[in-house]
Amino acid sequence: MLNAILEVVLILAKIVAIMVPLMLAVAYLTFAERKIIGYMQVRIGPNRVGPRGWLQPIADAVKLVMKEVIVPTNSNRFLFIIAPMLSIGPALAAWAVIPFDAGVVLADVDAGLLYILALTSMGVYGVIIAGWAANSKYAFLGAMRSAAQIVAYEIAMGFALVGVLMGAGSLNLTDIVLAQNGSLIHWFWLPMLPLFIIYFISGVAETNRAPFDVAEGESEIVAGFHVEYSGTTFAVFFLAEYANMIMIAALTALLFAGGWLSPFQGIPFLEAAFAWVPGIFWLLAKISFFLFFFLWFRATFPRYRYDQIMRLGWKVFIPLTIVWLVVVGVAIMAELGPWFD
Amino acid sequence: MSFEKFVFWVFALILVFAAFRVITVRNPVHAALHLVLAFFTSAGLWMLMEAEFLAITLVLVYVGAVMVLFLFVVMMLDINVSPLKEGFISYLPVGATVAGLIIFEMAMLVGDRYFGLDKVAAPIARPADYSNTRELGSVLYTQYVYPFEIAAVILLVAIIAAIALTMRRREGTKHQDPAKQVLVKRNDRLKIIKMDAEKGE
């Protein structure tokens, strides 16, 4: 009995050890976003709260929590309150199978990749239910857009993951990273370049980020699905969106960019020189690298028109991934080096 | 009661409750959401049976895709419930008879006689490194490869048929071709005309 309690306490401690840094990362990702986009637009960005604006995200969080949660009169109260929770739940639960280093993982699940795909596909319920329960036309339009978009891009995303699964021969994320062991060339980004690009773009679309943010397109439908949300309930949606962004960046790093493997592997002098750097540093560096792209996209591209989004998802990405799956299959059968020998 | 049994009962009770609510609840959106809950809890039950691949696929396909499309349609419908309830009493005898028959038939089939504890052996608990996905794949692509491929072809035919049935070219629709749109050059749309400045009034 005591052992069982100890085990539960240990798991809880691990969850806290993942969640606290994640929440901090979300807070400072919003800060980074405002600063980076600020500099890209030749302005300074937030610089008033704390030294050089470093306390801005804390102030924002405190402000959001203190604000009143308004429930619209004709809304469905229960679904309206539960929608943000349905949004954040899958976004956090998916982190259970993410390995941070060899063996450093909360749950070393055999079907980890499938589990993540299933959980990320559930995040859409938060958006749909929020849009419907608010009983507002803008929110509803946002929810409909988001539903159609996520279904379209999930298929391309799934096919891209099938390529990784074929290459690694496993659904376990740790095994997938170890299958890329060798050098920078051995990582899957090179043999699966189209899948890598499609996965990342689909990830941007799946998280409803610019230029795919029609679900909340403020120039057309005010703020889309969360138009009626305020205070903490809005903050939770916000949190879920940024947690999902970090999730997509982490997955891209793990599946296509060698996870915690050092980029200097296999290079004569540099490998030894950087051998002391812990693996988690490389993983975090890669996650940051991909997160930067999210922000860069937002500062660069105008919003896609809705029919163009649908066309890109169904008519470009899905056929491309299917073709590349055949290519990967042939490469595996031909034992093409240095990846599949 | 062991922990697994406790989890089973929690999932089973939620599943039965959700399934019951699917047919009793008034609002079609609530019915669809209860169906989502039913799928999710049954995935939990499959997980308890160590069928993790099927459980996750159930969530991925039914919860993540099929029910999203379902909700999409149901939310846009403007269903007036009152005409649906007309004639409840007059249809009741027929409906009750059919329901009773189905319950009787199911009770005959799904009972102790075929599915009792003495008839079905308890499944052997697998070690932690046992890959359900790999086992399923190896059986599906060797022993059952023909039925599997035939099922895939039938599904493909169904997809093509469904698309062919709904694809209608209507006259007079304003159809946009994004491929053409992105290829548009400035000279196709814009003409710069030189003209003298006009005198103000």
- The model's pLDDT over A123-132, given as tens digits with 9 standing for 90+, comes to 888 888 888 8
Mean pLDDT across chain A = 85
pLDDT band at A304 (very low <50, low <70, confident <90, very high): confident
Residue B141's SS3 state is coil
ipTM of the complex in this document: 0.81
Helices within chain A (DSSP H only): 2-40, 56-66, 77-93, 112-122, 124-133, 137-168, 173-179, 193-206, 218-221, 231-256, 268-273, 279-300, 306-311, 318-333
Q: Is A215 on the interface with B (CB under 8 A)?
A: no
Q: Are A115 and B56 a contacting pair at CB < 8 A?
A: yes
Q: What percent of chain A has pLDDT over 70?
A: 100
Round the CA-based radius of gyration of chain B to a whole number and report it. Answer: 28
Q: What is the pLDDT of residues A230-265, one digit of tens each?
A: 888 888 988 888 999 999 999 999 888 888 888 887
Better-predicted residue by pLDDT, B73 or A24: A24
Q: Are B53 and A114 a contacting pair at CB < 8 A?
A: yes
Across the interface, of A110, A115, A144, the residue whose CB is closest to B72 is A144
Q: Which residues of chain B have pLDDT under 50?
A: none
pLDDT band at A309 (very low <50, low <70, confident <90, very high): confident
Instruction: Return residues 133-172 of B near A (CB < 8 Å).
Output: 133
Better-predicted residue by pLDDT, A77 or A219: A77
Q: Are A154 and B64 a contacting pair at CB < 8 A?
A: yes
pLDDT of residue B96: 92
Asked whether the predicted pLDDT for residue A297 surpasses 80, the reply is yes
DSSP labels, A172-205: -HHHHHHHT-SSGGGSTTTTTHHHHHHHHHHHHH
**B33: chain A residues, CB-CB within 8 Å:** 79, 129
The one-letter code for the residue type at A260 is: W
Instruction: Return residues 144-183 of A near B (CB < 8 Å).
Output: 144, 147-148, 150-151, 154, 158, 171
pLDDT of residue A74: 80
Q: Taking the complete model, does pTM exceed 0.95, yes or no?
A: no
Q: What is the pLDDT of residues A330-341, one digit of tens each?
A: 888 888 777 777
Q: Tell me, what DSSP letter sits at residue A241?
A: H
Residue A101's SS3 state is strand
Q: Which of B33, B56, B135, B173 to mutate to test the interface with A (most CBs of A within 10 A)?
A: B56
How far, in Å, CA of A134 to CA of A155, rounded? 29
CA atoms within 13 A on the CB side of A323: 9
How far, in Å, CA of A338 to CA of A320, rounded? 24
Q: Which residues pair with A104 in a beta bridge?
A: A101
Mean pLDDT of A41-49: 87
Q: Specify whether the CB–CB gap between A120 and A206 falls below 8 A.
A: yes
Mean pLDDT of A17-24: 90
Q: How far is A151 from chain B (nearest CA, A)?
A: 6
pLDDT of residue B174: 78
Residue of B nearest to A123 (CA): B64
pLDDT of residue A289: 92
pLDDT of residue B147: 92
pLDDT band at A109 (very low <50, low <70, confident <90, very high): confident
Q: Is B36 on the interface with A (CB under 8 A)?
A: yes
CB pairs under 8 A between A and B: 67
The one-letter code for the residue type at A305 is: R
